[in-house]
Amino acid sequence: MTAPKFRRILLKLSGEALMGDDAYGINPAMLGSIVAEIKSVTDLGVELGVVIGGGNIFRGVGGTATGMDRATADYMGMLATVMNAMALSDAMRQAGINARVQSALNIEQVVEPYIRGKAIRYLEEGKVVIFGAGTGNPFFTTDTAAALRGSEIGAEMVLKATKVDGIYTADPKKDPQATRFARISFDEAIGRNLAVMDATAFALCRDQKLPINVFSIFKTGALKRVVMGEDEGTLVHV
């Protein structure tokens, strides 16, 4: 069997990826599909950290959030990411994947706190580490948490799982002539004003020389192809 190109990666999952065709919440079929994709790479011996968003749960209370203080709303969103992390961990357990959830917020009755050294040890033991609660601070997105945790654990790449199979010259849904970039530099992506990640996360990845691959989590086998170094998604590099 061909060896994977990357040994340690950080996967960024949006909360919306768990919704499937539902309006909000967690779609069991979609959750199972994502876990199967993850298992396909952990079976190769790849060390995997996961940062997950909370938009699928938080949007369910979006109506009540109108006019809410930004910091309060962000803390609510962090709690939503912990809920998603717990659901993902349980689904992994049922699939035979050994996973641990670490939270940037201190809620030890539910999940253990984030400790960098322990997270790295878990990865070395072959466990998947799911990082919940973002960075633990308001005003920072889970994109920034992915860039931060990826840098801290020594990941070789941040994989951003989206609904689109890469970065395009234009919105492929609106422009049928839009073409996908196979590779693009950080500087060119900035110059073209391409929305890869939020600005803080993007700048951190660039400064740490941590490449990003944007790919579709809905495309069967895409995660494994990225890990194997095949032409899948779009690679953003220094």
Q: Is 69 marked as a binding-site residue?
A: no
Q: Is 198 marked as a binding-site residue?
A: no
pLDDT of residue 8: 98
pLDDT of residue 106: 96
pLDDT of residue 20: 83
**How far is residue 111 CA from its own chain's centroid?**
19
Q: Is 138 marked as a binding-site residue?
A: yes
pLDDT of residue 152: 98
Alpha-helical regions (H) of 15-69? 28-42, 55-58
**Burial bucket for residue 129 (CB in 10 Å: 0-12, 13-18, 19+):** buried
Q: Is 136 marked as a binding-site residue?
A: yes
Q: Is 33 marked as a binding-site residue?
A: no
pLDDT of residue 21: 84
Q: Is 175 marked as a binding-site residue?
A: no
Q: Is 14 marked as a binding-site residue?
A: yes
Which phi and psi (to 5°) does residue 218 adopt? Answer: -85, -5
Which tokens in the block code for residue 172? 């492929």
Q: Is 166 marked as a binding-site residue?
A: no
Closest C-alpha among 78, 70, 54, 55 to residue 133:
78
pLDDT digits (tens, 9 = 90+) for 47-61: 999 999 998 887 655
Q: Is 169 marked as a binding-site residue?
A: no
C-beta of residue 150 within 8 angstroms of C-beta of residue 10:
yes
Q: Is 63 marked as a binding-site residue?
A: no
The class level of CATH for 8-164+212-232 reads alpha beta
pLDDT of residue 24: 85
Q: Is 13 marked as a binding-site residue?
A: yes
- Residues in the chain predicted with pLDDT less than 50, given as ranges, are 63
pLDDT of residue 36: 97
Q: Is 117 marked as a binding-site residue?
A: no
What does the domain layout of the chain look like in residue ranges?
Answer: 8-164+212-232
